[in-house]
């Protein structure tokens, strides 16, 4: 079945009692046993739940994995994936990853004995140069948050294979509708389902999708042992959201290219970070490994923070809020918001400054979005 058909149909047929056309929510924390040996396939919701299972089947199919675990947040997904490694292991990642991921690696996992190198992942030689005997993993985020840098997935897969590393890709920014890292040879995909997969800014969630049995068994064990799984209701919301993933992504992208082109011409804008613009230095790479350019974009204004604040106040449609991937457009200031959890030096190294503004384009009319953004910058 085609991708969009699987969005709608995979995992939804779970009701043998009344033939409902949508997956029921099973909020029960526990399931009674038939006898001392057998049960319905579920015993306790931390370990497994039919509604959550429906979502897991759906996401595994969309990403092309063998299985999935749906968890409580994107950070839970990243945490679970990090347990494919152990203290002493070294993991190479980008220097411009999501601030929360940076904090988890730099602070939490480093204090547990994990080691990290944060490098410019656009440069495969920089990744190769960072490899040490104890290197065990490559953590890929592409496009990166917030500067939309593109990591060449095929190059990373090659480096991972040559050096026997587990490659993990955070596919939150594009969703499987636009990019499928597992098909390109990556081992594990993680998501913040809070974003495009759910798509309506009304749930926080995450997912880990694997394609090797060994990885799947470890992730399942960790999610159960650490209690990371999402609630049945949250799973149901994401399953509902994912049904419209394709049409939403198309609508998001129509707005994104229109706003990016306007920003590119605006005198108050110094630089636009959107791989869909032909002028973007990695436009061709993005085109070769993605099926679209997504709807996240960032830009540097010509002036400083005070001007940014004025712009935010002038906007009517773009709400000043963190997060992304919902049907409504959001705008935010990475330095004090999404990337405040990075150190100032790390932000500087990544290229995030007080001029940087990040935008998540919703599915409103492109004309209205362009007019609002233009008005915000002009006023």
Active site residues: 46, 98, 170, 195
Query: CA 24 to CA 342: how far, in whole Å?
Result: 41
103 contacts 149 by C-beta, under 8 angstroms: no
Q: Shortest gap between Cβ of 207 and ligand PLP (angstroms)?
A: 10
Query: CA 153 to CA 86: how far, in whole Å?
Result: 24
Q: How far is CA 28 from CA 32, 42, 46, 222, 224, in A?
A: 10, 10, 11, 22, 17
Burial of 339 (0-12, 13-18, 19+ CB in 10 A): buried
Q: Which stretch binds ligand PLP (CB under 6 A): 21-29, 67-75, 242-250, 343-351?
A: 67-75
Rule CB under 6 A: is residue 170 a binding residue for ligand PLP?
yes
Query: Site map for ligand PLP, 117-146, x if CB under 6 A?
Result: ------------------------x---x-
For ligand PLP, give the closer residue by CB, 82 or 377.
Answer: 82
Q: Which residues, in sequence order, are bridge partners of residue 190?
A: 170, 208
Q: How far is CA 291 from CA 56, 204, 257, in A?
A: 23, 26, 14
For ligand PLP, give the closer residue by CB, 12 or 141.
Answer: 141
Give me the DSSP letters along 95-107.
Answer: TT--HHHHHIIII
Rule CB under 6 A: is residue 105 a binding residue for ligand PLP?
no
Distance of CA 79 to the CA centre of its chain: 14
Q: Shortest gap between Cβ of 173 and ligand PLP (angstroms)?
A: 6
Query: CA 184 to CA 167: how far, in whole Å?
Result: 11
Rule CB under 6 A: is residue 98 a binding residue for ligand PLP?
yes
Query: CA 183 to CA 179: how far, in whole Å?
Result: 9
Q: Shortest gap between Cβ of 296 and ligand PLP (angstroms)?
A: 9
For ligand PLP, give the closer residue by CB, 203 or 277.
Answer: 203
Rule CB under 6 A: is residue 73 a binding residue for ligand PLP?
yes
For ligand PLP, give the closer residue by CB, 12 or 174.
Answer: 174
Residue of minimal CB distance from ligand PLP? Answer: 74
190 contacts 215 by C-beta, under 8 angstroms: no
135, 149, 172, 231: which one contacts ligand PLP (CB under 6 A)? Answer: 172
SS3 198: coil
Rule CB under 6 A: is residue 74 a binding residue for ligand PLP?
yes
Could you tell me which residues come within 8 angstroms of residue 107 by beta carbon, excluding any fewer than 6 positions away? none
Q: And the tokens for 204?
A: 């926080």
135 contacts 163 by C-beta, under 8 angstroms: yes
Element (H, E) at 230: none
75, 130, 138, 166: which one contacts ligand PLP (CB under 6 A)? Answer: 75
Q: Which stretch binds ligand PLP (CB under 6 A): 49-57, 72-80, 273-281, 297-305?
A: 72-80
Rule CB under 6 A: is residue 351 a binding residue for ligand PLP?
no
Q: Shortest gap between Cβ of 332 and ligand PLP (angstroms)?
A: 10
Q: How many helices (H) and strands (E) does the chain have?
A: 15, 12
Could you tell me which residues come within 8 angstroms of residue 351 by beta carbon, excluding any fewer than 6 positions away? 96, 147
Query: Site map for ligand PLP, 175-194, x if CB under 6 A?
Result: -----------------x-x
Rule CB under 6 A: is residue 148 a binding residue for ligand PLP?
no
Query: CA 237 to CA 246: how far, in whole Å?
Result: 17
Which residues ranging from 200 to 229 are in contact with ligand PLP (CB under 6 A)? Answer: 204, 206
Q: Shortest gap between Cβ of 234 and ligand PLP (angstroms)?
A: 11
Q: Which stretch binds ligand PLP (CB under 6 A): 4-12, 61-69, 95-103, 276-284?
A: 95-103
Which residues ranging from 308 to 327 are in contact with ligand PLP (CB under 6 A)? Answer: 323
For ligand PLP, give the closer residue by CB, 101 or 289.
Answer: 101
Query: Site map for ligand PLP, 2-41, x if CB under 6 A?
Result: ----------------------------------------
Query: CA 73 to CA 234: how far, in whole Å?
Result: 10
Q: Where along the sequence are the contacts to ligand PLP (CB under 6 A)?
A: 73-75, 98, 100-101, 141, 145, 170, 172-173, 192, 194, 204, 206, 323
């Amino acid at each position: 079945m085609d991708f969009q058909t699987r969005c709608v149909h995979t995992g939804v047929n779970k009701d043998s009692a009344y033939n409902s056309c949508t997956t029921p929510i099973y909020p029960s924390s526990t399931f009674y046993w038939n006898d001392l040996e057998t049960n319905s396939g579920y015993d306790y919701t931390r370990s497994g739940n039919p509604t959550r299972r429906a979502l897991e089947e759906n996401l595994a199919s969309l990403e092309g994995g063998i299985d999935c675990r749906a968890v409580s947040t994107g950070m839970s997904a990243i945490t679970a994936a990090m347990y494919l490694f152990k203290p002493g292991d070294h993991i190479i990642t980008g220097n411009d990853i999501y601030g929360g991921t940076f904090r988890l690696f730099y602070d939490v996992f480093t204090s547990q004995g994990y080691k990290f190198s944060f490098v410019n992942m656009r440069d495969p030689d920089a990744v190769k140069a960072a490899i040490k005997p104890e290197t065990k993993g490559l953590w890929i985020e592409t496009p990166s948050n917030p500067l939309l840098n593109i990591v060449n997935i095929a190059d990373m897969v090659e480096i991972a294979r040559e050096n026997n590393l587990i490659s993990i890709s955070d596919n939150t920014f594009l969703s499987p509708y636009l990019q499928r890292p597992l098909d390109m040879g990556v081992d594990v995909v993680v998501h913040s389902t809070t974003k495009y997969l759910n798509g309506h800014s009304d749930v926080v969630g995450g997912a880990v999708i694997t394609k090797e049995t060994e990885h799947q068994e470890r992730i399942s064990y960790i999610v159960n042992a650490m209690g990371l799984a999402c609630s049945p209701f949250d799973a149901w919301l994401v399953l509902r959201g994912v049904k419209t993933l394709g049409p939403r992504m198309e609508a998001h992208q129509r707005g994104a290219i229109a706003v990016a082109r306007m920003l590119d011409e605006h005198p108050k804008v110094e630089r636009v970070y959107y791989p869909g613009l032909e002028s973007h230095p990695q436009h061709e790479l993005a085109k070769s490994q993605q099926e679209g350019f997504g709807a996240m974009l960032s830009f540097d204004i010509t002036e400083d923070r005070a001007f940014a604040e004025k712009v935010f106040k002038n906007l009517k449609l773009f709400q000043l809020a963190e997060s992304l991937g919902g049907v409504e457009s959001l705008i935010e200031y990475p330095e004090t918001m999404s990337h405040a959890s990075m150190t100032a030096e790390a932000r500087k190294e990544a290229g995030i400054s007080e001029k940087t503004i990040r935008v998540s384009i919703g599915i409103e009319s492109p004309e209205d979005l362009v007019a609002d953004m233009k008005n915000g910058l002009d006023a």
